[in-house]
Structure 1
Amino acid sequence: MPLHKIIHINETTTAYFWYITEDVTSLFRAVSLKDTSLFRLEGMKSEEHQRGFLAVRMLLQHLGYTDYDLTYDEAGKPHLSDGKHISISHSHEFSCICISDELMGIDLEKLKEKTLKIAPRFMEVKHLENLPTSEQIEKATVIWGVKESIFKIKNEKGISFPEHIFEDEFSFSDGKCSAELHFNNQIEKFNIQFYKVEDYIFVCAFPNN
């Protein structure tokens, strides 16, 4: 299936979503991959991961890029050849890329009860008090996405979701919140925007310099 959704986050930041209905073979035939990407693809044991990986390349092609325009640094962070910032996420039936003139990080997560069950491992559960279960799942998923998005921006070993990344109180209906990273004797602030896309939560974080 072609492009499913576009979200214009701000004037210079846009997210693109691919709803993956194709099988691995169809996606593979539709994209051109450099040798390092072929090697990565062959090393993936899960067909879901292979489809997600290839759907990202479909999105790149849709936007006039190719796999050859995408490189990864030693820490595994993606970069585009034209100098624009890119962040990538995929979850189950969706792949997403976000392209911006600004540094940012994204995360896409499917809404599921498991996130609520493991919430005490990565967040302060007081944020979920007095909410019905469905809203607890949504909010916990946003908070996971906040932490994952910030981690993608910083990409430093040793960052712990519960010990170093703290989200301010927010309501799901706000669509935005703020968060802080307390790490290496520094406090860094981030602005967060989040969206519900079908039964997924999409989060985008920006450093608040």
Structure 2
Amino acid sequence: MPLYKTLNPNSQTTVKIWKITESYNDLLQPIKLKPENLKRVLGMKSELHQRGFLSVRHLLAEFGYTDSDLFYDENGKPHLKDGKHISITHSFTFSGLVVSDFQVGIDIEKQRKKIGVIAHKFMEYEFQYLKVDEPDYINKLTVIWCIKESLYKLFATPGLSFLQHTLVIPFTMDEESTVAWIDYEDKKYRYSTTFLEFEGFTCAYALPS
């Protein structure tokens, strides 16, 4: 399938989402990979992961980039050779990419009830406004996870904890946006976050306020 969705949060930022319906071979054929990445994708045991990896390269092409334009630093954070900021995500049958002039993070997650079992591991403050008996409890948990994952990718600092260093301000699902904070080593960082839902998945992305 071609591009699933394109969003423009501001004039310097673009989000693109891909729905992965193609076969592994159809995704691989038109893409030129660096030798180390070709070796990596051929070595993946899961075809789902292979297709996710390749779909990200198709998203790069949508932005006018190639696999060679992308590299990773020692913390595993992706970068583009032209200096633009980038963040990458894929989950099951969707992948996403955001490119911006600003530091940015993005995450896509499948909505699953089992997130409720681990909620205490990634949030504390948020329990003050989140109620287990809410009809959209799982959806809100997934939004919070995606926002915190986006912050983690954006900040890319070893030792950053979802539980201890990040918090998400109260929101409703209709608002599709909220403010989030990183409180790390006596410094506070404020971010504007946006979220959306599609086909049982949640996507969130974060930008500096």
TM-score for both structures, normalised by structure 1: 0.92
Q: Given residue 203 of structure 2, which amino acid in structure 1 is its aligned partner?
A: F
Whichever residue aligns with residue 127 of structure 1, its letter is: Y
What is the CA deviation profile of residues 24-44 of structure 1, one whole-angstrom value per residue up to 9, with x for unaligned ones?
222111211001212322342
Specify the SS of the correspondent of 2:29.
Answer: helix
Q: Percent identity?
A: 43
Residue 109 of structure 1: CA displacement? 0.9
Distance in 2, Cα, partners of 1:131 & 1:16? 34
3-state SS in 2 of match to 1:180? strand
How far did residue 185 of structure 1 move? 2.2
Match of 1:16 in 2: 16
- SS of structure 2 residue aligned to 1:156: coil
C-alpha RMSD over aligned residues: 1.5
Aligned-partner Cα distance in 2 for 1:108–1:130: 22
Distance in 2 of aligned mates of 1:43 and 1:186: 41
For 2:174, what is the secondary structure of its paired residue? helix
Secondary structure of 1:68 counterpart: helix
- Letter of the structure 2 residue corresponding to residue 126 of structure 1: Q
CA distance in structure 1 between the partners assigned to 2:82 and 2:198 by the alignment: 28
1:61-97, CA deviations, whole angstroms, 9 ceiling, x for partnerless residues?
A: 2332111111111111111122211110001101111
Q: Distance in 1 between matches of 2:132 and 2:44?
A: 41
SS of the equivalent of 1:83 reads: coil
* Equivalent residues in 2 for 1:3-82, closer than 5 Å: 3-82=3-82
- The Cα shift of 1:121 comes to 1.5
TM-score normalised to structure 2 length: 0.92
Quote the Cα distance in structure 1 between the aligned partners of 2:186 and 2:50: 39
Q: Which amino acid aligns with 2:87?
A: S
User: Which structure 1 residue ranges, 5 or more long, are not aligned?
Assistant: none
Gap regions ≥5 residues in structure 2: none
> How far apart, in 2, do the equivalents of 1:51 and 1:91 lie?
11
Aligned length: 207
Residue 170 in structure 1 maps to residue 171 in structure 2: yes
Spell out, residue by residue over 1:175-197, the C-alpha distance to the aligned partner (whole angstroms, 9 max, x if none): 11111112122222211111123
